[in-house]
Amino acid sequence: MVGGSVGLARRRRQVVILLFEGFSLIHMGRLAETFSLANRLRHPDNALHNYYDLRLVSASGGAIRSSSGVLIWTDAVDSHYAKDVHALFALGAANVPVESDERLLSWLRHTHPHAQVVQGIGGAYGVLELAGLESKDVAVTDTTGGAMTTGALSATRTAGIDADAGAALTSALSVVKRDCGYETASQVAHDLLPVTPKQFTHSVFNSREARASDLIRTSAHQLRVSSENRVSIADAAQAVAMSERNFLRRFKQEIGVTPTEFVLRVRLEKACHMLVDTDLPADKIARRTGLGSGDRLAKLFRQHLSMSPTEYRTLERNRLAENGLAEPGVIKRARRPVS
């Protein structure tokens, strides 16, 4: 459906966040949360319009490591038609030039003319320059809502967000304002700031969960909650009164991954946190997160992170110490196990 139609079909707006190694999880989370909130808060009159479809991509796809060591799964840029991108945010490590290749630069050049907003954050700003492109922002041409975006920008400063991340967030709010209205954008800005970083650790799936149907959202929540135990697809399907076949199909369609993959990622994320935050042995962490045994945990870590759990623990603790994040109390010692 192209512009001018008066039908009530939902208009999907593809928002793409292009990630580079060392990106800020907090910046990504704020952007993701902006559009996720907009989906949840949009005015009832707009209920069938302007539905943001958040995509996380990288040059080649796969796992991208954030500055805090958390791995985020991405699709390759190739899998997204450049002309379908409504807004593009490129996130790289602060003050570190990102690596790019001609394929990525070409995709950026094709995307730029179609996207309403193109913003680079941190080192990713340079990739736009390499492609011979400039940042785009709807706020530049939009004179009707200056107060809101100015207010949001000052709020980002209050919340301790650096300048270009604040500008990207302001751009995101401008997009929401133009697509969903001033009220919705205002409410998003209000709900978003100030925020705490831990809100964003789950935003990868949260954005999709938020716009999933009630049944699938409920199911995803139940899977997340019961991820420490053995989870059967048959039981999960039965819990939401669906056939297994239909449950699998709809879950993947709405959340983006199969239920098994969803539970696996939740478990791995918990295991990563426990490895860094506690001194528990890998085998115990595996049992507590539902990943079975230490052997199985090691196998999964090698498969997904290309290292063993203990290597990950050492690496992440060193990284946090180097970044000055391992303040007293951040790395907690586990309670002595009760035997």
**Chain residues in the site for DNA (CB under 7 A):** 231-234, 242-243, 245-246, 248-250, 252, 258-261, 264, 292-293, 295-296, 298, 300, 308
Between 154 and 238, name the residue whose CB sits nearer to DNA: 238
Between 68 and 219, name the residue whose CB sits nearer to DNA: 219
Give the whole-angstrom CA distance, residue 265 versus residue 258: 11
Q: Are 48 and 64 in contact (CB under 8 A)?
A: no
Between 21 and 311, name the residue whose CB sits nearer to DNA: 311
Q: Are 185 and 144 in contact (CB under 8 A)?
A: no
Between 245 and 333, name the residue whose CB sits nearer to DNA: 245
Between 130 and 315, name the residue whose CB sits nearer to DNA: 315
Give me the least distance between CB of 295 and DNA, in Å please: 6
Give me the least distance between CB of 51 and DNA, in Å please: 14
Give the whole-angstrom CA distance, residue 84 versus residue 182: 24
Between 43 and 304, name the residue whose CB sits nearer to DNA: 304
Between 218 and 308, name the residue whose CB sits nearer to DNA: 308
Between 92 and 259, name the residue whose CB sits nearer to DNA: 259
Q: Are 331 and 320 in contact (CB under 8 A)?
A: yes
Give me the least distance between CB of 262 and DNA, in Å please: 8
Give the whole-angstrom CA distance, residue 20 versus residue 122: 10
Give the whole-angstrom CA distance, residue 49 versus residue 183: 15
Give me the least distance between CB of 240 and DNA, in Å please: 10
Give me the least distance between CB of 294 and DNA, in Å please: 9
Give the whole-angstrom CA distance, residue 6 versus residue 188: 27
Q: Are 62 and 50 in contact (CB under 8 A)?
A: no
Between 141 and 293, name the residue whose CB sits nearer to DNA: 293
Give me the least distance between CB of 27 and DNA, in Å please: 30
Give me the least distance between CB of 245 and DNA, in Å please: 4
Give me the least distance between CB of 89 and DNA, in Å please: 28
Give the whole-angstrom CA distance, residue 173 versus residue 188: 8
Give me the least distance between CB of 282 and DNA, in Å please: 11
Residue 93 CA from chain centroid, whole number: 16
